[in-house]
Structure 1
């Protein structure tokens, strides 16, 4: 968490953990009164010092001095902007939400979302700008209490959604070759987030790497079953079936600028040992589809039997 004065260009980064947490909490609640009691909870939790109110005042005074310096070293005290204002119940940071990176990120993300249906190229550019604002985990070094922890969780979720939407925009403009590596890393880092697997499978398929796309589904299924104890959702299963049958709908937009040309697909001789794993994997996937269909049919029959018995009773 750092503060930058636009007039001087100077950056303020509090060195102490309590100072960073105090600044972050006030920034999250910028323009709103934050009670002293809540700030004490944010900084010390359930173990505040005996003189917590005085300790908070000392931290606020130090932060005020830090924030006043960038306004100009030679500026008169009366002309410096009073960033932190004392209120009857606590403190307010006189900073509009639009002056924070978090607000700028949200604004660019929302603009990208609105542009996606009709101009995915613009969406990609807007989300590139939005994601460039991130320089590490949300509110890094400031997570002492609920104010910052809750906001960090919201921002992290928004960042993942923005990454998904950006990759979707790249796929829609034919830039699948540029995001295969990034999507593979994201799927590894977030093993229960099915959307990353979905986007990765489409990107690989459009690069002519069908076997790898199908292998991603199997990895996703094992990871999701291990982490959550459930099967992948219908969207991922349907995509696997589409890939197996070379569904024309998967070709998408013909992109003018992939990052790297797709490797030419080779057709090995039937006796080639390198073809066996692929054939075995394809056969396994076909058997898996048939098993899922049989399970579905059995459930449907059981449902009909139960509803028939209920009506008869």
Structure 2
């Protein structure tokens, strides 16, 4: 059995995706999966699944939801479901790290960052394979509680950083003209992620489009001033100076 959270929460068996029935079963599964094979206390699960207005019978309701998820996993996985364990510290879903896309993604990104010191091409391939695990916004088919909401925010940042790593490789080791469009899209979609804007300015300059690189800076400066009342970061200000002075490091 393979488990997916980088997109909708689902289970895959022999290449076939299965959705978990019931909103609370899905949320319970998601919470156990993102907790990384660590026991999750019953009180935390109760808050995650029912919020602050838990019913008086919440302890029994949690037992029922756990039992239903166990049955669902047995039904989907046949004789091969992971164990949903009850222990003194709470509940734990014993899933191998290789069977959860989240942990596979994180391991791949870490491996790429080590590998790029000696083999940038191989590192880029590992990174693209890791990014290929994403099927959309993480945990998108659940109404998340505090644990899952925090995990979504963390994963979105990890995703943007990995995308940035991949685009930086293309700018530095391949023809930057091929990633200008993607950098424009990422800069538009994530306007406060200034490292995408920095890479866009570098790419435009290296493509002989110095005026567009300078205009990109001023567009961002105007937007930051209008919407947030702040100036661009030192990163972008220094990049503009390098472009204006035709710094050799940008060639």
- The verdict on a shared fold, with TM-score over 0.5 as the criterion, is yes
CA deviation string 1:126-170 (max 9, x = no partner): 211111111111221234212111111111111111111111111
Change (3 A) 1:15 1:110: same
Following the alignment from structure 2 to structure 1, what is the Cα–Cα distance between the partners of residues 41 and 241? 56
Partner of 2:119: 119
Partner of 1:135: 135
| TM-score after normalising by structure 2 | 0.89
- Residue 3 of structure 1 aligns to a residue whose secondary structure is strand
| CA distance in 1: counterparts of 2:96 and 2:204, whole angstroms | 44
Match of residue 302 from structure 1 = none
User: Take 1:198 and 1:230, find their aligned partners in 2: how far apart are those partners?
Assistant: 17
- Residue aligning to 1:23: 29
Candidates 2, 7, 12, aligned match of 1:4 = 12
Contact preservation (8 Å) 1:177, 1:203:
yes
| Structural mapping, 1:84-123, within 5 Å | 84-123=84-123
SS at match of 2:91: strand
Query: Aligned residue for 2:212?
Result: 212
Name the CA distance, whole Å, in 1 between partners of 2:26 and 2:76.
17
Between the aligned partners of 1:62 and 1:141, the Cα distance in structure 2 is: 18
Question: Does structure 2 retain, via aligned residues, the 8 Å contact 1:11–1:70?
Answer: no
Decide whether aligned partners of structure 1 residues 80 and 207 sit closer, same or farther in structure 2, where only a CA change above 3 A counts. closer
Helix, strand or coil at the partner of 1:66? helix
Q: In the TM superposition, what are the counterparts of 1:145-294 in structure 2 within 5 Å?
A: 145-251=145-251
- Bigger Cα displacement from structure 2, 102-111 vs 28-37: 28-37
Q: Counterpart of 1:13?
A: 19
Name the structure 2 match of 1:66.
72
Number of equivalent positions: 243
**In terms of mean alpha carbon deviation, does 222-231 or 162-171 score higher?**
222-231
Say whether the 8 Å CA contact 1:68–1:81 is kept in structure 2.
yes
Q: Tell which has more relative contact order, 1 or 2 (C-alpha 8 A, sep 6+).
A: 2
Gaps of 5+ in 1: 73-78, 252-313
Q: Deviations over 1:8-64 (max 9, x none)?
A: 334331132212111100111242211221111001110112211222122212211
Corresponding residue for residue 50 of structure 1 = 56
1:178–1:51: structure 2 CA closer, same or farther, 3 Å change rule?
same
For residues 124 and 104 of structure 1, the distance between their equivalents in structure 2, rounded to whole angstroms, comes to: 16
**Structure-1 separation of matches of 2:77 and 2:27:** 22
* Contact residue 10 and residue 70 of structure 1 kept, 8 A: no
Gap regions ≥5 residues in structure 2: 1-8
- Per-residue CA deviations over 1:95-145 (Å, capped at 9, x if unaligned) read 133421111111111122123344332232121111111111122123421
State whether residues 202 and 250 of structure 1, in contact with CA within 8 Å, keep that contact through their aligned partners in structure 2: yes
Larger radius of gyration between Structure 1 and Structure 2: 1
CA RMSD of aligned residues (A): 1.8
C-alpha distance in structure 2 between counterparts of 1:217 and 1:133, whole Å? 33
CA contact (8 A) 2:23 2:142 kept: yes
Q: What TM-score comes out, normalization by structure 1 length?
A: 0.72
Q: Which residue of 2 aligns with 1:33?
A: 39
